[in-house]
Structure 1
Amino acid sequence: MESQIFELQYALDTFYFLICGALVMWMAAGFTMLEAGLVRSKNTVEILTKNVALFATACTMYMICGYAIMYGGDLFLSGIAGGDTLVEDALAASAENGFSGDSVYSAASDFFFQVVFVATCMSIVSGAVAERMKLWAFLLFAVVMTGVIYPLEGSWTWGGNDVFGLFNLGDMGFSDFAGSGIVHMAGAAAALAGVLLLGPRKGKYGPKGEIRAIPGANLPLAALGTLILWMGWFGFNGGSVLKLGDIASANSVAMVFLNTNAAAAGGAVGALIIARIIFGKADLTMLLNGALAGLVAITAEPSTPSALQATLFGVAAGVIVVLSILALDKIKIDDPVGAISVHGVVGLFGLLIVPITNPASTFIGQIAGAATIFVWVFVASFIVWVIIKAVIGIRISEEDEYEGADIAECGMEAYPEFIR
């Protein structure tokens, strides 16, 4: 009887992992549509190319070495594909915890769920450097980011390894349920390093420091992308429960879904209200970024807050992201889609509010973990960007920027029937 119960749990948990992984993969479509909507039409094809290519690059590099660096094991998935958990071993492992402890599922499903996370992290970089970075420079950085930089910091957190053999973040009280810091803040740190070396788009800032808005070409696409991301986030956070096949886990999954949705709604409302106060109008782009900010904030701990707390966290995140976008513009950090604010500033906020509802974490631990992730990813990324800049350059020419990256980098236009 126990064997039959276990096999059902094993199958259900594996299937749940795969479905959540597929939802997170669908977030790639969300990032693609969001970014394509927020850039000018002359840069649309290049954005689309970057997002599809970065996903493929991330999947390949994480298979070659990223997963092994983050969780140990052989390269090229030899330990996963050739040594997946046998029924007898899985039964023994599950029996040790009374069929109700740690999940036991297919190792291949674990790889699939993890690989879509690294692709999400890299997608964050794409929007921040849009409209002026060389395509091949970006993809070369993606190789290093997804193959080494992200997996190494992931090994210090979810992988349970000590930071450079010195100290363990988990022992210090650091907790990041689904990746506000590990995924989102890390992506923003890499993006910030690239943006500082790139400089702003031509015409973004006037000679006297005035800020000039550069509207996106397709706001319906941006709205669609945001809603796709909102949907995919249920897999992002929900799958991080890691199992579904018992009552306690099922209840936890339901609460995570509820809080994820509540925070997104709160973020949208908070951003809409603060934008109305500041601009006197309902700003769609701020509304969209507010929803994403709520999602990023709750990602660090979506299982322990009440629905009301999750909503309030989302509202705060929505306000923070609007203020952050405006602040970065004032210091001339040009981020066409607001990625550094949404994923970096709010990612930090998400980490810092974890101890409010999760007593297993500490504020000191959260700060230490956030600082470790940011410093490693920013410094390592900056070095890689500098090397790429020295070897092949990272910015397209001024003429190509004026004509658009689509023609310069891809040789085609997204909307050839329209005159720019």
Structure 2
Amino acid sequence: MTIASHPPRRPKRLQEASLLEAPSLLLRGIRGLSSQRSLVWLACIPLALFGLGVFNLSAHAAELPELTAAFLANNMFLLIAAVLVIFMNAGFAMVEAGLCRQKNAVNILAKNLIVFALAVSAYWFIGYKIMYNADWVIPGWFKFGGIFFDPTVTAEMVTDAALVPSIDFLFQAAFVGTAATIVSGLVAERIKFGEFVIFSLVLCGILYPISGSWQWNFPDDAGVGGGWLASLGFIDFAGSTVVHSFGAWAGLIGAILLGPRIGKFVEGKPQAIPGHNLSIATLGCLILWIGWYGFNPGSVLAMNETVPYVAVTTTLGAAGGGISATLMSQFTGGKPDLTMTINGILAGLVAVTAGCDGFSMPAAWVVGFIGGVLVVLSVAFIDGLKIDDPVGAFSVHGTCGMWGTLAVGLFNMDKGLLTGHGPAQLGIQIVGIVAFAIFAIVASLITWSIIGAIFGGIRVTEKEEIEGLDIGEHGMEAYPDFAASAK
């Protein structure tokens, strides 16, 4: 008697599964679910669902008057500005990836991509509420009042042509993402991906909102209710210090704790580690320049006559920085250095950001020009301290962010020392610069140290660093068809 053999049983497809079988079938189909890292990411899902469950994100229905042209113009303008600032993430990713080595390109791109998702999520969950939409717990210093924000549009907002909460949040979230991206450049090519993710969440959800509230919560007409720096008269129009130097200090502490990349310093002397693709670095620089027209003009927070003026001073600052950095590299190295031209343009943009609404046009160019000189000198100075900053991020955002903030006290048309208004504003600007630096250094040192203690350090192994973070951290390569020797 012959027994007919049965063909192997075909695994049940998800479409054929019952409602009770589907969850387990889906989980079994997720590759790598058994790894600790995958489980950590998966654990975020119920937390996110809980947040959605306890808060109603839908705008409340309200009786609104007819939408005015001014209301629509202001909100549409800021929406476009927010999109431009968000697109700057592409520029940061390309500059950083292009100025670093091929073997770390995937890791750098992944960090720059995920950091904005992290920034928006953390800022939406709690950061925006700390920075703006809450009551002072410690007047002028710290706000807190729950989580999320109320997106309701009121009749008063329409009548006053004010920004709706959702637009304001989106624009501010784009800024917090910039601060976290600056950190990425300073710790490039040797930091663990997961540990960077955790630091970014803390930075965007807690640290940046606390210090940002000091300046960008302005007092009312009676002179009360603002952040302590705003009440003091500190000026940082679009964030040379609030965003750029704050992110630079946070990243610098990470770079110091990580130590230099293998081969960066030989017998105490810095060695050049060339980037693998200056074409995309150059394109990234141009994307950032364009994005800055959202960053600075958008900070007017309305569509009015100040917007085009700020756009021009921003352009002049970038132009001055690019010219001077190119000249400085010619003088110091014998030939014009493209990487210094890139950083010079960015340095000019960062420098002019603090006072772009209050600089004269000649002053804006001069501020950018000096920023371009400083960035070249600062890169050499940081190398001399044996701190490894792979893309010159601290020199661009830290050194030139502080310079631009200081320049307000010198060149502001209404309050500057060199425009005949005395040294008072210059002193206030110094206080603000020092305050942000101290807070960023102390808070970042504590945060990086705690993360390192919990996870056994923040740096990848020597083997992973030599092989490249693309393989060690992500299991893939940016250019798999290229020869390994090209890395």
Using the size of structure 2 for normalisation, the TM-score is 0.79
Name the SS of the counterpart of 1:369 in structure 2.
Answer: helix
Residue identity matched to 1:9? A
- Please give the per-residue CA displacement for 1:317-342, whole angstroms capped at 9, x wherever unaligned: 00000000011101111000000010
Aligned residue number for residue 385 of structure 1: 448
- TM superposition shift of 1:106: 1.3
Aligned residue number for residue 90 of structure 1: 157
- TM superposition shift of 1:90: 2.7
Aligned residue number for residue 45 of structure 1: 106
2: CA distance, partners of 1:287 / 1:145: 30
2: CA distance, partners of 1:167 / 1:235: 24
Select which of 204, 210, 219 maps to 1:152.
Answer: 210
Aligned residue number for residue 406 of structure 1: 470
Select which of 388, 393, 396 maps to 2:460.
Answer: 396
Aligned residue number for residue 201 of structure 1: 261
Q: Do 1:141 and 1:385's aligned partners in 2 also have CA atoms closer than 8 Å?
A: yes
1:287 equivalent to 2:341? Answer: yes
Q: Do 1:160 and 1:168's aligned partners in 2 also have CA atoms closer than 8 Å?
A: no
Name the SS of the counterpart of 1:19 in structure 2.
Answer: helix
Aligned residue number for residue 171 of structure 1: 231
Aligned residue number for residue 11 of structure 1: 72
- Please give the per-residue CA displacement for 1:241-287, whole angstroms capped at 9, x wherever unaligned: 1101xxxx2x2111100010111011000000011000001100000
2: CA distance, partners of 1:368 / 1:297: 18
- Which structure would you say has the larger RCO, counting Cα contacts within 8 Å and 6 or more residues apart? 1
- Match runs of 1:180-191 below 5 Å: 180-191=240-251
Residues 76, 167 of structure 1: alpha-carbon distance in 2 compared, 3 angstrom cutoff: closer
Instruction: Out of 135-144 and 68-77, give the one that drifted further.
Output: 68-77
1:68 equivalent to 2:118? Answer: no
2: CA distance, partners of 1:241 / 1:360: 19
- Match runs of 1:267-286 below 5 Å: 267-286=321-340
> Over aligned residues, Cα RMSD in angstroms?
1.7
Aligned residue number for residue 354 of structure 2: 300
Select which of 133, 136, 155 maps to 2:194.
Answer: 136
Q: Do 2:215 and 2:227's aligned partners in 1 also have CA atoms closer than 8 Å?
A: no
Aligned residue number for residue 97 of structure 1: none
Aligned residue number for residue 318 of structure 1: 372
1:23 equivalent to 2:90? Answer: no
- TM superposition shift of 1:211: 1.4
Structure with bigger gyration radius? 2
Residue identity matched to 2:183? V
Q: Do 2:150 and 2:165's aligned partners in 1 also have CA atoms closer than 8 Å?
A: no
Select which of 298, 309, 314 maps to 2:363.
Answer: 309
- TM superposition shift of 1:91: 5.2
Residues 311, 167 of structure 1: alpha-carbon distance in 2 compared, 3 angstrom cutoff: closer
Residues 66, 78 of structure 1: alpha-carbon distance in 2 compared, 3 angstrom cutoff: closer
Aligned residue number for residue 214 of structure 1: 273
Q: How many aligned residue pairs are there? A: 395
Residue identity matched to 2:458? I
Residues 297, 111 of structure 1: alpha-carbon distance in 2 compared, 3 angstrom cutoff: same
1: CA distance, partners of 2:163 / 2:256: 43
Q: Percent identity?
A: 46
1:418 equivalent to 2:482? Answer: yes
- TM superposition shift of 1:75: 4.8
Where does structure 2 lack aligned partners over 5 or more consecutive residues? 1-64, 135-144, 220-224, 417-424
2: CA distance, partners of 1:71 / 1:358: 29
1:57 equivalent to 2:124? Answer: no
Aligned residue number for residue 116 of structure 1: 174
- TM superposition shift of 1:168: 1.5
> Between Structure 1 and Structure 2, which shows a larger proportion of helix residues?
1
Q: Do 2:190 and 2:261's aligned partners in 1 also have CA atoms closer than 8 Å?
A: yes
Residues 166, 105 of structure 1: alpha-carbon distance in 2 compared, 3 angstrom cutoff: closer
Aligned residue number for residue 422 of structure 2: none
2: CA distance, partners of 1:270 / 1:238: 24
Q: Do 2:129 and 2:149's aligned partners in 1 also have CA atoms closer than 8 Å?
A: no
Using the size of structure 1 for normalisation, the TM-score is 0.91
Residue identity matched to 1:205? F
Residues 110, 360 of structure 1: alpha-carbon distance in 2 compared, 3 angstrom cutoff: farther
Q: Do 1:11 and 1:105's aligned partners in 2 also have CA atoms closer than 8 Å?
A: no
Q: Do 1:238 and 1:257's aligned partners in 2 also have CA atoms closer than 8 Å?
A: yes
